[in-house]
Structure 1
Amino acid sequence: MASTQDSFGSIQDTAPPGAIASKLVVGLVILSFVSYPIYALYLHPLSSYPGGTLEKLSRIPYWIACIKGNQVKWMTAQHRRYGPTVRFAPNDLSYTEAQAWRDICVVPKGKKENGKEIRFHAPSANGTPNLITEPSLMRHATVRRVFSPAFSEKALKTQEPLFQHYANLMVARGRKMGAVNIAELLNWTTFDIMAEFAFGESLGLLEKEAYSEWVATVFNTLIVLPAIQMIEFYPLSRKLFSLLEPKSIAKMRLDHFNHTVTRVDKRLKDGSPKPDLWNLVEESGVLTPGEIYTNAELFMTAGTETTASLLTGTTYYLLKNPDKMKILTDEIRGRFKSNKDITLEALSQLDYLNACLREGLRVYPSIPSAIPREIPEGGNVIMGKWLPAGTRVSVHQTSTYRSPTNFKNPDEFVPERWLGDLIYKDDIRDAHQPFSVGTRNCLGMNMAWHEMRLLLSKLIFNFDIQTEVDASWRDQNVFVIWDRKPLPVTLVDIGAPA
Structure 2
Amino acid sequence: MDFYLLLWLCPLYIVGTIVYRLFLHPLSGFPGPKLAAVTHLYEFYFNLVQDGMFIWEVERMHAQYGPVVRITPHELHIKDAHFYDEIYAPASRKREKYSGFVAHFGTPSSMVTTIQHEHHRLRRAPLNSFFSKRSVVQLEPVIRENIGKLADRLAAEIQKDEGVIRLDAAFTALTMDVITHYSYGKSYRYLDEPDFKLAWKDAVLAASANGAMLRHFPAMLAVSKSMPHWLLKKLDPQAAVLLEIQHMVRSQSVESLQRLQAKKEDNEKTNTAKTTNNDANDNNDDEQAKSIFDALNNPSMLPPEERTLDRLQDEGQILLAAGSETTAKTLAVISLHLLRSPAVLARLREELISVMPTPISTASWVELEALPYLTAIINEGLRLSYGVTTRLPRVAPTEDLQYKEWIIPRGTPVSETSYFVQMDPTIFPNPDSFDPDRWIQAAARGERLDRFIVSFTKGSRQCLGINLAYAELYLTVAHIFRRFELELFETDVDDVRLVRDRFFGAPRDGSKGVRAIVRGETLL
CA distance 1:375–1:283, change in 2 (3 Å):
closer
Structure 1: distance between partners of 2:421 and 2:113: 24
Structure 2: distance between partners of 1:420 and 1:94: 31
CA deviation after TM superposition for structure 1 residue 254, in Å:
5.0
Aligned to 1:434, what secondary structure does the other structure show?
coil
What pairs up with 1:224-239 in 2 under 5 angstroms? 224-232=210-218
CA distance 1:428–1:475, change in 2 (3 Å):
closer
Q: Which amino acid aligns with 2:144?
A: Q
2:179 to 173, 194, 197: 194
2:45 to 61, 64, 67: 64
CA distance 1:350–1:112, change in 2 (3 Å):
closer
CA deviation after TM superposition for structure 1 residue 192, in Å:
0.9
Aligned to 1:412, what secondary structure does the other structure show?
coil
Q: Which amino acid aligns with 1:380?
A: D
Match in the other structure for 1:145? 125
Identity %: 21
Structure 2: distance between partners of 1:231 and 1:69: 16
Match in the other structure for 2:333? 313
Which stretch has the larger CA shift, 25-34 or 69-78? 25-34
Aligned to 1:132, what secondary structure does the other structure show?
helix
CA deviation after TM superposition for structure 1 residue 396, in Å:
0.6
CA distance 1:364–1:254, change in 2 (3 Å):
closer
2:253 to 239, 261, 265: 261
> So what's the TM-score if we normalise by structure 2?
0.79
Match in the other structure for 2:481? 460
CA deviation after TM superposition for structure 1 residue 102, in Å:
2.5
CA distance 1:427–1:253, change in 2 (3 Å):
closer
Match in the other structure for 2:76? 93
Aligned to 1:189, what secondary structure does the other structure show?
helix
Q: Which amino acid aligns with 1:220?
A: A
Structure 1: distance between partners of 2:321 and 2:451: 27
CA deviation after TM superposition for structure 1 residue 273, in Å:
12
Structure 2: distance between partners of 1:413 and 1:317: 7
Residues 131, 464 of structure 2: 8 Å contact kept: yes
Aligned to 1:410, what secondary structure does the other structure show?
coil
Q: Which amino acid aligns with 1:101?
A: Y
What pairs up with 1:164-203 in 2 under 5 angstroms? 164-177=144-157, 178-203=163-188
Q: Give the CA RMSD over aligned residues.
A: 3.5
Structure 1: distance between partners of 2:444 and 2:417: 25
Structure 2: distance between partners of 1:44 and 1:98: 27
- Count of matched residue positions in the alignment of Structure 1 and Structure 2: 470
CA distance 1:395–1:223, change in 2 (3 Å):
same
1:120 to 86, 102, 105: 102
Q: Which amino acid aligns with 1:164?
A: R
CA distance 1:343–1:214, change in 2 (3 Å):
same
Residues 177, 187 of structure 2: 8 Å contact kept: yes
CA distance 1:200–1:273, change in 2 (3 Å):
farther
CA deviation after TM superposition for structure 1 residue 462, in Å:
1.4
Residues 181, 489 of structure 1: 8 Å contact kept: yes
Q: Which amino acid aligns with 1:430?
A: R
Which digits, 9 at most, give the CA deviation of each residue in 1:302-345, with x for residues without a partner?
11111101111222233344433332232224541233432212
Q: Which amino acid aligns with 1:226?
A: A
Structure 2: distance between partners of 1:429 and 1:215: 29
Residues 136, 468 of structure 2: 8 Å contact kept: yes
1:285 partnered with 2:300: yes
> So what's the TM-score if we normalise by structure 1?
0.82
Structure 2: distance between partners of 1:26 and 1:307: 53
Match in the other structure for 2:494? 472
Structure 2: distance between partners of 1:119 and 1:421: 37
Which stretch has the larger CA shift, 474-483 or 115-124? 115-124
Match in the other structure for 2:36? 55
CA distance 1:273–1:267, change in 2 (3 Å):
farther
Residues 37, 70 of structure 2: 8 Å contact kept: yes
Residues 214, 256 of structure 1: 8 Å contact kept: no
Residues 46, 91 of structure 1: 8 Å contact kept: yes
1:84 partnered with 2:67: yes
Q: Which amino acid aligns with 2:119?
A: R
Which stretch has the larger CA shift, 86-95 or 267-276? 267-276
Q: Which amino acid aligns with 2:132?
A: S
Which digits, 9 at most, give the CA deviation of each residue in 1:113-165, with x for residues without a partner?
3334463344666x5x2221223322322332211111122222221110110
1:483 partnered with 2:512: no
Residues 349, 481 of structure 2: 8 Å contact kept: yes
Structure 2: distance between partners of 1:424 and 1:124: 45
Match in the other structure for 1:447? 468
Aligned to 1:490, what secondary structure does the other structure show?
strand
Which digits, 9 at most, give the CA deviation of each residue in 1:82-127, with x for residues without a partner?
3322222222211222343322222575x543334463344666x5
- In structure 1, runs of 5+ residues without a counterpart are 1-17
CA deviation after TM superposition for structure 1 residue 475, in Å:
5.0
Structure 1: distance between partners of 2:204 and 2:480: 26
Residues 31, 69 of structure 2: 8 Å contact kept: yes
1:494 partnered with 2:521: yes
CA deviation after TM superposition for structure 1 residue 390, in Å:
4.9
CA deviation after TM superposition for structure 1 residue 349, in Å:
0.9
Residues 311, 456 of structure 1: 8 Å contact kept: yes
CA deviation after TM superposition for structure 1 residue 241, in Å:
3.7
Residues 442, 448 of structure 2: 8 Å contact kept: no
1:364 partnered with 2:385: yes
Q: Which amino acid aligns with 1:478?
A: D
Structure 1: distance between partners of 2:480 and 2:105: 37
CA distance 1:276–1:49, change in 2 (3 Å):
same
